[in-house]
Amino acid sequence: MKHFTCVQDIGDLNVALKEAFEVKKTPFRWDTLGKNKTMLLIFFDSSLRTRLSTQKAALNLGMNAIVLDVNQGAWKLETERGVIMDGDKPEHILEAIPVMGCYCDVIGVRSFARFESKDADYREVILNQFIQHSGKPVVSMEAATRHPLQSFADLITIEEYKKTARPRVVLTWAPHPRALPQAVPNSFAEWMNAAGYDFVITHPAGYELDPTFVGSATVEYDQRKAFAGADFIYAKNWAAYAGDGYGKILSKDRAWTVDAEKMALTNNAYFMHCLPVRRNMIVTDDVIESPQSLVIPEAANRVVSAQTVIKRILEN
């Protein structure tokens, strides 16, 4: 694997899962693989889990890890070519990226959708500039349209807890006070479709995701119907994708909050969320604190997904 940005980059999911469970069982077996190698983690946006788990994964492999918050202490970066740089951005990303590449062996990048241009977001302008100009393998730590390290961890978690070969997995939209990117739901859909689960997406009208990511999923606008018989409920908010509504909040309807009454419609489903989560907007206290809540094991598996991916890159 050269770069890791989407489900296709990991290849056969059964092979990847087998490897991930080996990593989970014996995390220090490859602790010399990354000797004298440096992992650089670049954050254009905030993080708790991705920052810590990816750093921990690199350390488990014997790498050095350097973290840079671009917005805290680095020069403000211009990202457009052709701009006369007489404003508040003293450095261009087209110099900054190759410079960063000089200081490391693998680069992780987090850069969310900006919601200024759907076209620019869905072309993954920042991530692709790193791939083009860093000269180093690039790992997406959540880009504008996908969050593959999260989705890989989600898949690992579902495989650990599933009680049937092909569980019914439901991705449900839930309300949130701010406009959030589609990266997590897009990516989750991509990985669930690739896994071949019985996969359902439920959301209010207007929140349709890019059909490329929806793929063969069943779309059900009635949340209660969608929950019936579910083995896993994966909650997430996202802003509108379709048409002129791109990046907008169309609803904050708390009738879509995941609560105990809706969970009772399921097949005693597990509750999942990538975190951070807004309690009593996305999910009620009692559901997230229930024995069926997998949010902590899911977050713990972020080390496993990151370590499996970085290990493969180093072995390449």
Per CB under 6 A, 79 contacts ligand CP: no
**Nearer to ligand CP (CB atom), residue 47 or residue 290:** 47
CB contact at 8 A, 110 and 47? yes
**CB-based burial label for 36 (10 Å; 0-12, 13-18, 19+):** exposed
Cβ-proximal residues to 122 (8 Å cutoff; 6+ apart), any chain: 144, 145, 210
Beta carbon of residue 182, minimum distance to ligand CP (angstroms, whole number): 14
Say if residue 276 is preceded by a cis peptide, omega within 30 of 0: yes
Which x/- pattern over 113-142 shows residues binding ligand CP (rule: CB under 6 A)? -----------------------------x
Eight-class DSSP state of 233: E
Q: What is the rounded CA–CA span in Å between residue 277 and residue 290?
A: 15
Residue 157 binds ligand CP (CB under 6 A): no
| Cα distances (Å, whole numbers) of residue 219 to 42, 51, 201, 247, 254 | 35, 33, 5, 20, 20
Q: Which of 49, 262, 311, 312 binds ligand CP (CB under 6 A)?
A: 49
Task: Kindly write out the interface string for residues 177-216 of this chain, putting x where it contacts ligand CP by CB under 6 A and - elsewhere.
Answer: ----------------------------------------
Indicate whether 144 belongs to the interface with ligand CP (CB under 6 A): no
Nearer to ligand CP, 250 or 300 (CB): 300
The least CB distance from residue 147 to ligand CP, in Å, is 6
- Helix, strand, or coil here: 236? strand
* Stretch of residues binding ligand CP (CB under 6 A), selected from 5-13, 45-53, 197-205, 240-248: 45-53
Number of chain positions touching ligand CP (CB under 6 A): 9
Summarize as ranges the residues that interact with ligand CP (CB under 6 A). 47-50, 142, 150, 274-276
